[in-house]
Structure 1
Amino acid sequence: MNWNNAEFLNPEFLYLLILIPLLAVWYFFMRKKDAAVLSIPSIKGFRTSSFLSKLKPLLYVLRLLALAAIIVALARPRNVSVSKRTKTNRGIDIVMAIDVSASMLARDLRPNRLEALKKVAINFVNRRPNDRIGIVVYAGESFTQTPITSDKRIVKRTISELQWGRLEGGTAIGMGLGSGVNRLKDSEAKSKVIILLTDGVNNSGNIDPRTATELAKELGIKVYTIGIGTNGMADFPWSKDPRTGQLNFRKQQVEIDEDLLKFIASETEGKYFRATNNTELQEIYDEIDKLEKTKIEEFKYYNYKELYRPLVFLALGLLILEFLLRNTLFKSFI
């Protein structure tokens, strides 16, 4: 019998096990009265008791063991095995619209804004096993880096390979948001979300951010906006050394159009966040992860295997053995 996952259906019967030590004590004090007594002046000439007679208490032990087995059987021990099945009732489609302009190389986050974002974004994806995620990148223009997919390996690889310099310069927030909306407009998910991250102001592109916001609102797309960058001055790239190819940095005022980002979030029933360091950026994605949870229904199936039958047979076997020994080997001592 496997007792690893055993439970008792009627555990109150186990209290009867306290009778076992009480009966053992009772037998210890009453054992001398269990045999006939013959009074004689001397035992000389009589053979000393045999080894077999000393085993007589074994009969009582067998009876106690049988009683203990019956008590445990009454408690109805059984093995429980649980199988689980999950059902996702409310899937979420998420588009991460990421600013990859040159200013994302600013070093107010460590090692820079883009690398800090990549680490946090990959952690976020790891916590969304039941959702589909797509990646949109934008600078002076925008395009879909990865369509909405449930393959998290592709999404994480895309994030890890994000680089600046592949798009024309500038920050086209309207185009980044518009591309995200375009990815989600045909989605049949119950919840559609865009996480729009930028570190600047809208200064490029042919789509007005407010127009893209209205489209998102009409399609029921919730937009969480994140402004990334410290308050005050930060080291920004401003030129590249022609001989070494290394970027040169200089102090520059951080400018983020927070009013626009707040407007986008408010109109779409999302939320605006500001990340001024690595810790805050991580906390922001943690909060979004908590706000947008996929509802999962878990079904548990319980399988029971009764264990009392072997105990009943054990008790019956012990009683039969006690009866046979009492009426054969120990008959002359009883």
Structure 2
Amino acid sequence: MNRAVDWFREFISEFSGSLSPDSWSLFGINFAHPALLLLLLLLPLWSWWRRRAAPQRAIPFSRASVLGLGPRPSLSWVRWLPWLRSLALAGFIVAAAQPRSGARAERVSSEGIDIALVVDISSSMLAEDFQPQNRIEVAKEKVKRFVVGRKSDRVGLVAFSGEALTQVPLTTDYPVVLTAIDNLQVGQLEDGTAIGTAIATAANRLRTAPGRSRVMVLLTDGENNRGAIDPRTAAQAAGTFGIRIYAIGVGSEGMAAVPVGRGLFGLRYENRPVKIDEALLTEIATNTGGRYFRAKDAQALQSIYEQIDALERSIVEARAYIRYTERFRWPLLFGLAALLGELALRARRGVLP
């Protein structure tokens, strides 16, 4: 008997390894451990062995009249006892196989992208050539929409002008990132455009990120005129860490209303030529495997973020999984009810052994 049990255990182990949890399905119900259902095939064998192995017992009484004083068996109810025991075992086996139904399918990324958003907040970002808003407000709106489209990517935020400062480290807490973007204001940092410092600051955050895909989205509207770090050197260092830089030059061509100081009624604007070092931004992006884009208006800026989203989305490997609703309680309750029914019959009907 022990050898048979050991053999069956080995058979169950090998058989279950070849089964997918979703391979046995009935009316939308599948089983986490379908191999356990094979135990149901042993119930008829167990019932036959139990009847065959049961000893034929005799009840010694001196007189037959004594039997009338004891419990009276009901043969019709006695025949139900093996069935109730088998039904109880069947319920327990089905419950152990863990029946379940799928609630819904979801998409998750097995490996997310690490994205550093680098936003220029120099005074020139107040230029009003993105009517009816200025550059900084339009940039914030489009960056937020880009963040909302993330699913499992880690996103960080770096603001820069004459200096650079990390506003949010890499995180999947998107509400925190969105709040930080809302709080970006021109004048928070020393004025100027330190592109090299901004790239170095963002690269320092990305280089230790656990993911293999690292992306920097650099948004600026000017030329590098501040900072001790050369933008090309910073980009070269970022490239050695596998960081791709997508650079976006913000601003219309020709002339734009740019703030030049404060007057009695607020900021004073003058029409000045728009200067963006496109050659530098193109070189930075190309040398790191990224791309350079020019956003001349709000619609173009939105289109650029959608292109970046499409370019990087293909890197993430996604897999589908199902969130299950467990259904083992019903067969478990059925088995308990059958077992309690058997015990109740034995107690109330006084079945003789």
User: Would you say same fold, with TM above 0.5?
Assistant: yes
- Offset at 1:190? 2.0
Question: Aligned residue for 1:218?
Answer: 240
Cα–Cα, structure 1 residues 85 and 284, in superposed 2: closer, same or farther, change >3 Å?
A: closer
State the SS of the aligned residue for 2:244.
strand
Q: Distance in 2 between matches of 1:188 and 1:113?
A: 33
- Offset at 1:168? 1.2
Question: Aligned residue for 1:278?
Answer: 298
Question: Aligned residue for 1:269?
Answer: 289
Q: Distance in 2 between matches of 1:130 and 1:85?
A: 12
User: Greater CA radius of gyration, 1 or 2?
Assistant: 1
Q: Distance in 2 between matches of 1:116 and 1:218?
A: 32
- Offset at 1:300? 4.5
Match of 2:278, as an amino acid? E
Cα–Cα, structure 1 residues 301 and 199, in superposed 2: closer, same or farther, change >3 Å?
A: closer
Question: Aligned residue for 1:14?
Answer: none
Listed one character per residue, the Cα deviations across residues 163-198 of structure 1 (whole Å, up to 9, x for unaligned) are 011111210000011111011111111200000011
Match of 2:161, as an amino acid? A
Listed one character per residue, the Cα deviations across residues 56-96 of structure 1 (whole Å, up to 9, x for unaligned) are xxxxxxxxxxxxxxxxxxxxxxxx85542544212111000
Contact residue 114 and residue 214 of structure 2 kept, 8 A: yes
Where do 1:1-334 residues align within 5 Å? 83-110=104-131, 111-241=133-263, 243-244=264-265, 246-293=266-313, 294-300=316-322
Pick which of 84-93 and 142-151 moved more.
84-93
Gaps of 5+ in 2: 1-26, 29-100, 328-353
How many residues get paired? Answer: 227
State the SS of the aligned residue for 1:292.
helix
**4+ residue runs of structure 1 moved beyond 4 angstroms?**
300-303
Pick which of 81-90 and 122-131 moved more.
81-90
Identity of aligned residues (%): 42
Cα–Cα, structure 1 residues 178 and 302, in superposed 2: closer, same or farther, change >3 Å?
A: closer
Q: Distance in 1 between matches of 2:178 and 2:323?
A: 35
Contact residue 219 and residue 249 of structure 2 kept, 8 A: yes
Gaps of 5+ in 1: 1-5, 8-79, 306-334
Match of 1:255, as an amino acid? K
Q: Distance in 2 between matches of 1:89 and 1:157?
A: 27
Match of 1:143, as an amino acid? L
